[in-house]
């Protein structure tokens, strides 16, 4: 039977970052240790082996014991971890190269546990500050404001042309968007077939499938490259804006994220939610973000935003449907 009221989860102590995929849950503790539970038929829990039986309590990913992770993002059947030095680790299903291990071979032992991703298209290796795992693809942002992606690009979710809208195109760690003085990618969210990018100036760009109005462009059409989304004027004056993307919907959350260990989440945040007609509506909520405050390579990592929120001024829950993840882990 479904659980219709929140219950306390028997999770590891001092959890500072969380993410949810298709039947999976991920946790990162204040000490940087990653845990996971749920479905594991594609080794998407990163525990070193596949299993037809779900893991019902969070288990530590022992193969990366001793490493300090600051953020986690969950796709449908894979996940990304951000190390405190700006490197990215991944595990899980890999039929479209979404784990970034350099091929698209599925169910291979090397994708059963978190492995460091080598981004061959960028030299020297970039320092990643933001990660997002989508349905069958992954996108990250580095300290030079470059958007880098890998995995499935059949619906233009990377903002670069595919072979065709319904044809399969695999991308391996390609720079999708390069920051300029006026457009600097800062935070990214990956949905089922679309991507949202928020710049340092709090401008929002979207690419991919727009059948349900999830791109926020005022239409229900697909776009093949990043287009700027018209957002309420007050967002331009906010200190931070965080995107979230699911299956057929998107949201933006404004507000101040609390540092690690603090119970003060700052002022109420406002959610800007795209609807099936492609319009936006607002509503306030006093929670809906989780933050960390771990310092990484001279920058402070903030935590994951896993949100869906409300419209017409009241709070409602809203997570990912059809198993995709709403994400957005970031550093500042």
What pLDDT is attached to residue 312? 34
Q: What is the pLDDT of residues 209-219, one digit of tens each?
A: 999 999 999 99
Model confidence at 257: pLDDT above 90: no
- 169 falls in which pLDDT band (50, 70, 90)? low
| Of 159 and 286, the one with more pLDDT | 159
Model confidence at 107: pLDDT above 90: no
What pLDDT is attached to residue 179? 80
Mean pLDDT of the chain: 78
Q: Per mean pLDDT, which range of 85-94, 187-196, 273-282 is the poorest? A: 273-282
What pLDDT is attached to residue 138? 94
For 272-294, what is the mean pLDDT?
37
Q: What is the pLDDT of residues 114-124, one digit of tens each?
A: 999 998 778 88
For 125-144, what is the mean pLDDT?
94
Q: What is the pLDDT of residues 203-243, one digit of tens each?
A: 999 999 999 999 999 999 999 889 999 988 888 888 888 99
For 275-302, what is the mean pLDDT?
35
pTM of structure: 0.77
What is the 3-state secondary structure of the chain?
CCCCCCCCCCCCCCEEEEEECCCEEEEEECCCCEEEEEEECCCCCCCCCCEEEEEEEEEECHHHCCCCEEEEEECCCEEEEEECCCCEEEEECCCCCCCCCCCCCCCCHHHCCCEECCCCCCCCCCCEEEEEECCCEEEEEECCCEEEEEEECCCCCCCCCCCCCCCCCEEEEEEEEECCCCCCEEEEEECCCEEEEEECCCCEEEEECCCCCCCCCCCCCCEEEEEEECCCHHHHHCCCEEEEECCCCEEEEECCCCCCCCCCCCCCEEEEEECCCCCEEEEEECCCCCCCCCEECCEEEEEECCCCCCCCCCCCCCCCCCCCCCCCEEEC
What pLDDT is attached to residue 154? 85
């Amino acid at each position: 039977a479904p659980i219709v009221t929140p219950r306390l989860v028997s999770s590891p102590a001092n959890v500072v970052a969380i993410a949810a995929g298709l039947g999976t849950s991920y946790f990162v503790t204040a000490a940087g240790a990653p845990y996971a539970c749920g479905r594991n038929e594609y080794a998407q829990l990163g525990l070193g082996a596949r299993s037809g039986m779900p893991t019902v309590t969070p288990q530590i990913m022992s193969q990366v014991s001793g490493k300090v992770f600051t953020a986690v993002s969950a796709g449908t059947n894979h996940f990304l971890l951000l190390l405190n030095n700006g490197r990215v680790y991944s595990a899980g299903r890999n039929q479209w190269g979404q784990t970034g291990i350099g091929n698209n071979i599925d169910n291979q032992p090397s994708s059963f546990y978190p492995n460091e991703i080598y981004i061959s298209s960028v030299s020297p290796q970039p320092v990643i500050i933001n990660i997002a795992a989508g349905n069958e693809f992954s996108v990250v942002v580095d300290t030079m404001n470059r958007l880098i992606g890998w995995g499935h690009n059949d619906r233009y979710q990377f903002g670069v042309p595919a072979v065709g809208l319904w044809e399969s195109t695999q991308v391996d760690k390609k720079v999708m968007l390069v920051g300029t003085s006026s457009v600097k990618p800062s935070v990214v969210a990956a949905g089922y077939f679309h991507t949202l990018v928020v710049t340092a100036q709090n401008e929002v760009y979207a690419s991919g499938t727009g059948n349900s109005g999830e791109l926020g462009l005022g239409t229900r059409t697909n776009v093949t490259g990043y287009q700027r989304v018209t957002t309420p004027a007050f967002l331009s004056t906010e200190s931070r804006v965080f995107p979230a993307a699911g299956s057929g919907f998107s949201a933006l959350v404004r507000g101040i994220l609390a540092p690690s260990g603090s119970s003060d989440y700052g002022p109420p945040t406002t959610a800007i939610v795209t609807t099936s007609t492609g319009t936006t509506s607002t509503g306030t909520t006093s929670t809906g973000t989780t933050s960390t405050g771990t310092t990484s390579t001279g920058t402070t990592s903030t935590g994951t935003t896993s949100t869906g929120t409300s419209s017409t001024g009241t709070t409602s829950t809203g997570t990912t449907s059809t198993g995709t993840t709403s994400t957005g882990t970031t550093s500042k």
